[in-house]
């Protein structure tokens, strides 16, 4: 799906929701107040990701160090770097749950603002002009049919519209169904997602930004990056809306290509 098709699909979703809102006014996904999908109070209460992070994987560190102990051992990581916009705590946690599992695609627009906010800060401002396209983490066709939309794709579309980047969903697809990562351990996440993605030859030489809603261990974004780099992508960056406060990583050297 090219950007024009994606934008058309996204706007049709928004227009349908607008009509529904006239009949059934929205309630805030964070606090339940009527009037907006995410009220001003909850939007302002979202906790940004901390500044004491590993410069590569973006995971929180208790002291300021350039690289965490795992990243310091990596020679050629598939992801150039990963960043999360905010912490997966109240009220963002509830908003993402409503967005992802309770058929509220209209939350893509207010939630994407947090992605835009970090994209307008270093280190992104140093490489913005070099990015060739945004790629949302894809859903398996069966999961997409059940949910009706890919929340990462809606986030990517709203984000890309604001920062004027193309969305290139065709560059990455999920070639097998996987178990939900939510309840799995770090090692189980790695095994569950390894080899689940395939790519287009069009990614060769491209610099790509992969977007997801939540990153915990980094397994999904890393698996996407392995697939894209394996097909010749020049660089892959990861961006997620949220990360848990105590997110942990698995050793990237254990990731199967």
CA distances (Å), origin 193, targets 74, 122, 139, 178, 229: 20, 30, 12, 7, 16
pLDDT (tens digit per residue) in 90-136: 999 999 999 999 999 999 999 999 999 999 999 999 999 999 999 99
Residue with tokens 């997602």: 193
pLDDT (tens digit per residue) in 155-209: 999 999 999 999 999 999 998 766 666 665 666 666 666 667 999 999 999 999 9
Between 16 and 217, the higher pLDDT residue:
217
pLDDT (tens digit per residue) in 66-79: 888 778 887 788 99
Is the confidence at residue 5, as pLDDT, over 80?
no
pTM of the entire structure? 0.82
Distance CA 138, CA 152 (A): 7
Between 61 and 248, the higher pLDDT residue:
61
Q: What domains sit in the chain, N to C, each tagged with a CATH number? A: 13-249 (3.40.50.2020)
Collapsing DSSP states into helix, strand and coil, what is residue 195?
coil
CB environment 90-127: b (16+ within 10 A), e (fewer): ebbbbbbebbbeeebbbbbbbbbebbeebbeeeebeee
73 and 254 Cβ atoms separated by less than 8 Å: no
Label the pairing between strands 197-199 and 172-174: antiparallel
């Amino acid at each position: 799906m090219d950007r024009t098709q994606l934008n058309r699909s996204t706007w049709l979703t928004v227009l349908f929701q607008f009509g529904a809102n006239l009949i059934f006014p929205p309630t805030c996904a964070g606090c339940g107040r009527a009037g907006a999908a995410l009220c001003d109070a909850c939007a302002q209460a979202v906790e940004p990701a901390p500044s004491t992070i590993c410069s590569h994987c973006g995971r929180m560190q208790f002291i300021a160090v350039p690289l965490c102990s795992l990243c310091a051992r990596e020679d050629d990581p598939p992801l150039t770097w990963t960043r999360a916009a905010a912490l997966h705590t109240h009220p963002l946690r509830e908003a993402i749950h409503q967005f992802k599992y309770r058929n509220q695609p209209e939350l893509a627009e207010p939630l994407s603002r947090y992605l835009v906010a970090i994209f307008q800060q270093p280190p992104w401002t140093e490489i913005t002009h070099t990015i060739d396209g945004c790629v949302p983490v894809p859903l398996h066709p069966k999961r997409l049919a059940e949910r009706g939309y890919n929340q990462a794709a809606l986030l990517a579309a709203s984000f890309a519209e604001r920062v004027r980047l193309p969305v290139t969903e065709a560059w990455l697809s999920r070639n097998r169904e996987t178990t939900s990562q939510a309840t799995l351990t770090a090692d189980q996440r790695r095994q569950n997602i390894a080899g689940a993605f395939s790519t287009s030859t069009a990614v060769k030489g491209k610099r790509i930004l992969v977007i997801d809603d939540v990153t915990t261990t980094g397994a999904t974004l890393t698996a996407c990056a392995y697939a894209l780099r394996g097909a010749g992508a020049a660089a892959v960056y990861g961006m997620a809306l949220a990360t848990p406060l105590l997110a942990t990583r698995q050793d990237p050297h254990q990731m199967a290509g």
